[in-house]
Amino acid sequence: MAYTLPALPYAFDAMEPYIDARTMEIHHDKHHAAYVTNLNKALADYPDLQKLSVEELLKDLAKVPEKIRTAVRNHGGGHYNHTLFWQSLRKDSDPIANGPLGEALGELFESKEGGEKAFLEKARRVFGSGWVWISVDKEKKLMLETTPNQDSPLLAGRQPLIGLDVWEHAYYLKYQNRRADYVKAFYNLVNWDFVQQRYEKLTA
Ligand SMILES: [Fe+2]
């Protein structure tokens, strides 16, 4: 298999009580796994494309034959987005550190702390399934955006820094229709050390 499901970097219950173990297990072992399986299926007859990373595929979807383009967009996006999502979470995470990321977030949200509110607003406006992102644009500036389905900011030439999964599969067991509570929980689980390192890499 060209693409494989990365192991969850912590136990299923690591984010309890904010994200329950059962949701984490189904989300990773069933949903994320299905994106990987379906991406492999879509690319089964294209050994040359299998040599590319998911990021390379999504950055230049035009090189993917039209016949499988939607499948690669959806399942490749699902694989890439979830891989980043797992890495972005940590219980008892440190607050946003001062430094380049703190400054850039301050600029984006008017204050470093304004991020949670802005994130909530964006998440509230996602109709149906999708993601909320803080992305790095071509000028290396941060922007807050949403994408439908499993679309990645990579499709638009941007680099995702943090992504919040607002598909119901990410929160329904515990939060049901209370998406805002899930968004608040997520914002308190962001692994800012990881995000800081990623930001430095993406803007270097
Ligand atoms: Fe998801």
Summarised one tens digit per residue, pLDDT across range 91-134 is 988 888 788 999 999 999 987 778 888 989 999 889 999 999 99
Quick one: pLDDT at residue 97?
Answer: 77
Q: Ligand 1 centre and the CA of 50: distance in Å? A: 23
Q: Ligand 1 centre and the CA of 162: distance in Å? A: 14
Q: What is the largest CA-CA distance in the chain?
A: 49
Q: Ligand 1 centre and the CA of 90: distance in Å? A: 17
**Portion of the chain with pLDDT greater than 90, in percent:** 88
Global pTM value: 0.96
Q: Ligand 1 centre and the CA of 133: distance in Å? A: 14
Question: Helix, strand or coil for residue 137?
Answer: coil
For residue range 28-74, list pLDDT tens digits in order: 999 999 999 999 999 999 999 999 999 999 999 999 999 999 999 99
Q: Ligand 1 centre and the CA of 98: distance in Å? A: 30
Q: Which residue has the tokens 């790095």?
A: 136
Strand order in the sheet with 142-148: 142-148, 130-136, 159-165
- The token duo for 58 is 């999504």
Question: Helix, strand or coil for residue 163?
Answer: strand
Q: How far is the C-alpha of 203 from the C-alpha of 103, rounded, in Å?
A: 13
Q: Ligand 1 centre and the CA of 184: distance in Å? A: 17
CB 183 within 8 A of CB 17: no
Q: Ligand 1 centre and the CA of 169: distance in Å? A: 6
Which among 2, 165, 166, 164 is positioned nearest to 76, based on CA atoms? Answer: 2
- Mean residue pLDDT of the chain comes to 95
Q: Ligand 1 centre and the CA of 29: distance in Å? A: 11
Q: Ligand 1 centre and the CA of 197: distance in Å? A: 23
CB atoms within 5 A of ion ligand 1 belong to 165, 167, 170
DSSP element (H, E) containing 133:
strand 130-136
What sign results for the dihedral spanned by CA atoms 91, 96, 99, 100? positive
Q: How far is the C-alpha of 190 from the C-alpha of 202, rounded, in Å?
A: 18
Q: Ligand 1 centre and the CA of 176: distance in Å? A: 15
For residue range 133-178, list pLDDT tens digits in order: 999 999 999 999 999 999 999 999 999 999 999 999 999 999 999 9
- The token duo for 45 is 């007859």
Q: Which residue has the tokens 């999504």?
A: 58
